[in-house]
Chains A and B, each alone.
Chain A
Amino acid sequence: MGEIRHFDAGEYDVIVVGAGHAGVEAALAASRMGMQTLILTMSLDSIVALSCNPNIGGTGKGHLVREIDALGGEMALNIDRAFIQSRMLNTSKGPAVHSLRVQADKKIYHIEMKKILENEPNLRLLQAEVVDVLLDDNKVMGVTTRTGAVYKGKAVILATGTYLKGRVYMGEINYPSGPDGMFPSNLLSDSLKDKGFNLKRMKTGTPARVHRDSIDFSVMEIQPGDEEVVPFSFMNIDKDLNREQVPCYLTYTTESMHDIIRKNLKRAPMYSGEIHGVGPRYCPSIEDKVVRFSDRDKHQVFIEPEGLSTKEMYVQGVSTSLPLEVQEEMYKKIEGLENVEIMRPAYAIEYDSIDATLLKRTLEHREISNLFFAGQINGSSGYEEAAAQGLIAGINAALNIQGREPFILDRSEAYIGVLIDDLVTKETNEPYRMMTSRAEYRLTLRQDNADLRLTKKGYELGLVTEERYQKTLKKERTVNEELERLKKVKINPTSENNRILEEMGTNPLKTQISMYELIKRPELDYDKTIILDPERPELHKEIKRQVEIQIKYEGYIKKQMIQVEQFKKLENRKLEPDRDYSLIKGLSNEAVQKLNAIKPESVGQASRISGVSPSDINVLLIHLEQERRKDSNK
């Protein structure tokens, strides 16, 4: 093997390493903000590979997709092109937690996104393995590929997914590999380590894919999509995306399967102690479920299509690191899978991630300027979480280069803000998944109002098109006008009105009341009350929904807004990144150590670090005041 000869291969504003969900959003955001952008991937055939489950959205995750869309990202538009089944989850619960979740055709999803990248004016798409990140005195300079090409870049975004030192485990066998038979990225991991990055091991897993014709669906419960499709993208709200949908199927594991798992437990590397990485608790392997919930005689298994052009079916719920021979035996014990033919075996994968507490909330490294990290390398899991980070990293890389203020969403503004704040503030010890319960201000951060919350911001960034911006302004205006109108519509306690009200199962009126107040009654809603409101304009169902939510939940939302105000107070007390907390007398040792490690950007963020107590925060506030006065005395 000869020595690698390096050569100058070109110069870019932004270089993105990896073309998964994070990398793609990062590259599109940067190029759409006018940056000459290069995106590198080890294989052009694995762009936005859905290498685990074939779906997008769900609780919390669906919110992220809507927010990405509202800011001008691509994920929602792409899944609207590629979905083959659509369902709105949680409709029996409050509007804040309604969650859109769709099945994707993996191939279409990939091809459609590849087209977008190929047609993006400022973007170059290139197949190459990045092996080194070039630094110069705490500033990023570019990247080197395996073939010796040196690409200079003003900013570099690492979005390497589960590829870094990826190692696949199947029983006693393990070998270096990326996900789904791809090459791992070993050299880049080594070079990061050489540069002093602390890498930690994370673990995740995926179930087998099986042949459709080997499944007996007759014993399973069919799970069709919703009759009425709700698009993910706000741009498609008026469009009819209805198409033929393919169903999923629900079946169950059996006791005899559990017996096989228990008998072979020692052959699972998770249990033999061979895997050191920490796996996600919300996505346990089947052996985990069988051991931890031993009283259950069956577990759910969902059979989901991988796409329209393939007979591969995903076996949701049965991820495992057991050896292939055990997999063959145990999958056959799932109801309806007696004759199953495995096409791709299940496996567990271990990979390197960085300590995300080294990052700012822009996802830029605190000490190395213009080096960004996004996606699973930051210790998250999931396509949507990755995409959200990619978007933020791409935006901020562009803003840095343009010399503009950074773009940060806080916990009260978006799920994206919650996600990133958690990642950079709390030391994660398992891959981080978004859940609605992580958002303190869940009632205001709804998926239905993501555009109203964020599209203006996206427009100011230069990421949102004029068309989208105008659409959102119009929605906002229409909603507000209707709310104002409903406040002015007065219902009098006439016998006719009261007869109608009683027919609707609600109390008659004693005094005049506005339509706005009337809609608040639990037994009434916007549509039902139209009979008392002859002047009501014809409105789109999304507008009607928005109006209704804002009226019905006004009290709760107001309560939450007060909490947000409180939250903002400490959030606005900024802390400099170079502050040495050991110089502040009165802080506890633990607080000093944690604050110096994480370098929070605000007192609010500091207060969320575990180990920093309220009395430490008081000391910090006093100290800041002391400094302020010293400064003003100068």
Chain B
Amino acid sequence: MFDTIAAISTAVGEAGIGIVRLSGKDAIKIANNIFRGINNKTLLDAENRKMVYGHIIDNRNDEIIDEVLIVSMKEPHTYTRENVVEIYCHGGIIPVRKILELLLYNGARLAEPGEFTKRAFLNGRLDLSQAEAVIDIIKAKTDKSFQVSMDQLEGGLSKKVEVIRDTVLSMLAHVEVTIDFPEDDIEEVTYEELEENANRVISEIKKLLSTADRGKILRDGINTVILGKPNVGKSSLMNALLRENRAIVTDIPGTTRDIIEEHLNIDGIPLRIIDTAGIRETEDLVERIGVDRAKETIESADLIIAVFDISTDLTEEDYNIIDLIKGRKALVLLNKTDLPKKYSEDRLRELLEGVDIISASVINEVGLDVLEDSIKEMFYSGEIELDSSVVVTNLRHKNQLEKALVNMESALNDIRAQVPLDCIEVDLRDCWENLGEILGETIGEDILDKIFAEFCIGK
């Protein structure tokens, strides 16, 4: 019997319905962990091969993820001849992805390309004559996923992962050389050094993961955040920009509570406007997600467009925003200049020294061209750049990064407890291998190469 695997079974992003599928001994148990049926029914009560209605719940915080139909099929009469669960959720990338992530968190493993088919065959479900077809599927899927994976790595992600992995490798090499060459004239590794490196690795992985969490999913663009208090005109601005620039693809509606992304193109400059649903609901980002998360979002933005309303007094929220954007690449849109002013432009200029302030009336389409020109100017002058490098688009990568994080955190615990080096090494090696899988590198003599390259060994 194999372990339990999970994957998204529908093409991502297009279909109206998404399907996430699980196969393996614990499939039903794992799915049940995150399922709450109508009238609190569990999946274990459900009849075999019968659709059940309910919700997917994040069992870490009890948050509802999506409403779904779910069906469990007991072995052996299934596609893979193992226990299989299929979850039918809303289409679009967010729900399937979230559900898959939850399943992985609950103990499933992300399926290899073609693995369901492979299991179907190995468990005797498919006919012998189909063996070659199975091989073709696996190979095609492996090659494709490798290609996709490589394409996504083209940017700076692979470099970032490599840099992190190199730190882990240095830690490993230093631990191993300390263990294997106790009498050589080398500096033994210290717990302080390990702790420092572990912390660095953890924070770097977290940084990469945060890019994944913000939902950088489709193609890359200049990460743009529109900030402003409620009713300041954010959604009008967004709509106006989209209308004017004939937005290419657009929102990924996920569930109502998820992150929204809009892609648009200003004279060839790709912009990805990210925000939470706040824009649509004319809610305030800062208020909705809290100052800390807003800061995080802003931290990683390439460009901030802060919108202020000159027809109402500056509020505390406005001052918060002013604080948040200080020292960052930002443009200020002073909206509603067609209405009576409650404060002077100069007042804002004083508060935001050095930031371009554009007077506008979005509703009358005044000032939008100036805004676009300013964006173009910033781009062409190199002030803002396309940060395509740190986009973790692939869930597989994210999954590996998460595993690497868990392993390094476990190592850090042991380092702090000054557990013997040979025990710490186990987690370090796992972390290193997790990162290696993102890069598709095989594990070979790297550690030894590193040892011999960096340490003068040989009594």
B426 touches A443 (CB 8 A): yes
Cα of A317 to Cα of B417 in the assembled complex, Å: 36
User: Which chain A residues lie closer than 8 Å to B178 at the CB level?
Assistant: 93
A271 at the interface (CB under 8 A from B): no
Chain A: which residue is nearest B449 at the CB level?
Answer: A281
Chain A: which residue is nearest B134 at the CB level?
Answer: A622
Closest 5 CB pairs of A and B: A94-B420, A94-B422, A586-B135, A437-B176, A615-B142
A585 touches B132 (CB 8 A): yes
Chain B: which residue is nearest A284 at the CB level?
Answer: B458
Taking A284-B458, A522-B417, A585-B132 as given, write out 13 further A-B residue pairs in contact, using a Cβ cutoff of 8 Å, ordered by the A residue number: A93-B420, A97-B180, A97-B422, A281-B457, A282-B452, A300-B183, A437-B179, A443-B423, A559-B426, A613-B442, A619-B139, A622-B118, A622-B138
A625 at the interface (CB under 8 A from B): yes
User: Which chain A residues lie closer than 8 Å to B122 at the CB level?
Assistant: 621-622, 625
A97 touches B456 (CB 8 A): no
Contact of A615 among B138, B426, B447 (CB under 8 A): B138
Cα of A553 to Cα of B128 in the assembled complex, Å: 47
**A59 and B180 in contact, given A586-B139, A622-B135 (Cβ under 8 angstroms):** yes
**A281 and B452 in contact, given A300-B184, A619-B138 (Cβ under 8 angstroms):** yes
Cα of A622 to Cα of B138 in the assembled complex, Å: 10
B345 at the interface (CB under 8 A from A): no
B290 at the interface (CB under 8 A from A): no
B 100-123 to A, binary, CB cutoff 8 A, 1 in contact else 0:
000000000000101000100110
A317 touches B423 (CB 8 A): no
B 181-200 to A, binary, CB cutoff 8 A, 1 in contact else 0:
11111000000000000000
Cα of A94 to Cα of B175 in the assembled complex, Å: 12
B426 touches A560 (CB 8 A): yes
Contact of B181 among A59, A96, A442, A626 (CB under 8 A): A59
Least CB distance, A87 to chain B, in whole angstroms: 9
A618 touches B176 (CB 8 A): no
Docked complex: A272-295 residues within 8 A CB-CB of B: 281-284, 288-289, 292-293
Chain B: which residue is nearest A556 at the CB level?
Answer: B423
B456 touches A292 (CB 8 A): yes
Q: At the interface, is chain B mostly helix, strand, loop or mixed?
A: helix
B456 touches A94 (CB 8 A): no
A614 at the interface (CB under 8 A from B): yes
A89 touches B456 (CB 8 A): no
Docked complex: B404-459 residues within 8 A CB-CB of A: 417-423, 425-426, 442, 444, 447-448, 452, 456-459
**A610 and B442 in contact, given A442-B422, A622-B138, A626-B131 (Cβ under 8 angstroms):** yes
Chain A: which residue is nearest B186 at the CB level?
Answer: A300
Cα of A619 to Cα of B113 in the assembled complex, Å: 12
B 122-158 to A, binary, CB cutoff 8 A, 1 in contact else 0:
1010001001101110110011000000000000000
A160 at the interface (CB under 8 A from B): no
B135 touches A619 (CB 8 A): yes
**A436 and B180 in contact, given A610-B442, A618-B118, A622-B135 (Cβ under 8 angstroms):** yes
Least CB distance, B33 to chain A, in whole angstroms: 21
A629 touches B128 (CB 8 A): yes
Cα of A281 to Cα of B445 in the assembled complex, Å: 13
User: Which chain B residues lie closer than 8 Å to A299 at the CB level?
Assistant: 185, 456
A265 at the interface (CB under 8 A from B): no
**A610 and B180 in contact, given A442-B422, A619-B135 (Cβ under 8 angstroms):** no
Cα of A282 to Cα of B458 in the assembled complex, Å: 5
**A317 and B459 in contact, given A437-B180, A585-B132, A615-B139 (Cβ under 8 angstroms):** yes
A498 at the interface (CB under 8 A from B): no
A302 at the interface (CB under 8 A from B): yes
Least CB distance, A275 to chain B, in whole angstroms: 17
Q: Give 15 pairs: A residue, B residue, CB < 8 Å, sorted on A.
A: A89-B183, A90-B182, A94-B420, A94-B422, A97-B422, A281-B448, A316-B459, A317-B458, A437-B180, A585-B132, A610-B442, A614-B142, A615-B138, A622-B138, A626-B128
Cα of A437 to Cα of B179 in the assembled complex, Å: 8
Cα of A586 to Cα of B118 in the assembled complex, Å: 14
A95 at the interface (CB under 8 A from B): yes
Contact of B112 among A96, A586, A614, A619 (CB under 8 A): A614
Docked complex: A598-634 residues within 8 A CB-CB of B: 610, 613-615, 618-619, 621-623, 625-626, 629-630, 633
Least CB distance, A633 to chain B, in whole angstroms: 8
Contact of A622 among B131, B143, B447 (CB under 8 A): B131
Cα of A622 to Cα of B142 in the assembled complex, Å: 15
User: Which chain B residues lie closer than 8 Å to A553 at the CB level?
Assistant: 423
**A293 and B456 in contact, given A59-B180, A93-B420 (Cβ under 8 angstroms):** yes
Chain A: which residue is nearest B454 at the CB level?
Answer: A293
A477 at the interface (CB under 8 A from B): no
User: Which chain B residues lie closer than 8 Å to A436 at the CB level?
Assistant: 179-180, 422
User: Which chain B residues lie closer than 8 Å to A488 at the CB level?
Assistant: none
User: Which chain A residues lie closer than 8 Å to B444 at the CB level?
Assistant: 610
B422 touches A630 (CB 8 A): no
User: Which chain B residues lie closer than 8 Å to A292 at the CB level?
Assistant: 456
